[in-house]
Amino acid sequence: MEYTIVVAEMADSPATLQYLAPYTGAALAEYFMYRERHTLIIYDDLSKQAQAYRQMSLLLRRPPGREAYPGDVFYLHSRLLERAAKLNSLLGEGSMTALPIVETQSGDVSAYIPTNVISITDGQIFLSADLFNAGIRPAINVGISVSRVGSAAQIKAMKQVAGKSKLELAQFAELQAFAQFASGLDKTSQNQLARGRRLRELLKQSQANPLPVEEQIATIYTGTRGYLDSLEIEQVNKFLDELRKHLKDTKPQFQEIISSSKKFTEQAEILLKEAIQEQLERFSLQ
């Protein structure tokens, strides 16, 4: 917390102070940005600020619009979020990254405030209460979550391996919902459901447990290429933990290739396939 500033207004604070709190935080972040520092500001959450602004506007007898919000609520948030910037060399190259949080009612992402903020930002991560209650952490709804700049930050190897995983997970979610009402599924659909469950399992991650990008690539490749299909779901994470250790101990060239070339080369794929086959054989003997 030594480099963290918290600007807080409680739920029982006046609406005017709740409305002003995000602007206070933005001003503090800008102070450091213009002093050649890199800052991250998290707005938790802009739904509450919009509600405070709606309360103020209604008390001032301003004409209400959609969901009783005033007509300039979009301008309210765009003006706030567009203060985030990366300065050029003449201004010191400081930066301010904004991470707005918006609450949805019953998971309705099409409500007024969520759609406003989505249209302003460079993407969104949609957290699902249903996934959270099902034990999936982080509880990210892959079908709705979008990044307009994320691919620019990925190395080529990750794009090569994980390119189709989002589509597969989205199709799995649709098929899973359909399967609840269907009396019988063909073999292809059953295989797709089994693959999707294992992909979802490998994406589970414990708190404060980041993986190097080389290990992420190996993990995703193992799932998307069907090597986990023969395992029980309860065995997936144990197998992947042992695979990552085995790959690191016996095939250090794999990590060297990925880290140096940033590409998933043919040689890297051969090394990874060998490690997976070896681990499958070892795992079957346990």
Distances (CA, A) of 94 to 36, 91, 110, 228: 4, 8, 34, 45
Structural contact between residues 96 and 39, judged by C-beta atoms closer than 8 angstroms: yes
Cα–Cα distance for residue pair 64/93, rounded to 1 Å = 41
Closest CA to 279 of 253, 255, 247, 257: 247
- Within 8 A by CB and 6+ apart from 228, the residues are 198, 202, 222, 236, 239
Closest CA to 39 of 83, 97, 91, 87: 97
| Residue at token pair 């207004």 | 9
Q: Please write down the long-range contacts of 250-253, taking CB distance under 8 Å and 24 or more positions apart.
A: 250/275, 250/278, 251/275
Angle between helices 236-250 and 187-202 (to 10 degrees): 60
198 given a catalytic annotation: no
C-alpha gyration radius of the chain: 23
If you ran DSSP here, which 8-state letter would residue 263 be given?
S
Q: Which two tokens stand for residue 17?
A: 């102070």
Q: Which of 79, 148, 198, 282 is catalytic?
A: 148
Q: Work out whether strand 95-101 and strand 38-44 pair parallel, antiparallel, or are unpaired.
A: parallel
Structural contact between residues 118 and 78, judged by C-beta atoms closer than 8 angstroms: no
Which residues are catalytically annotated?
148
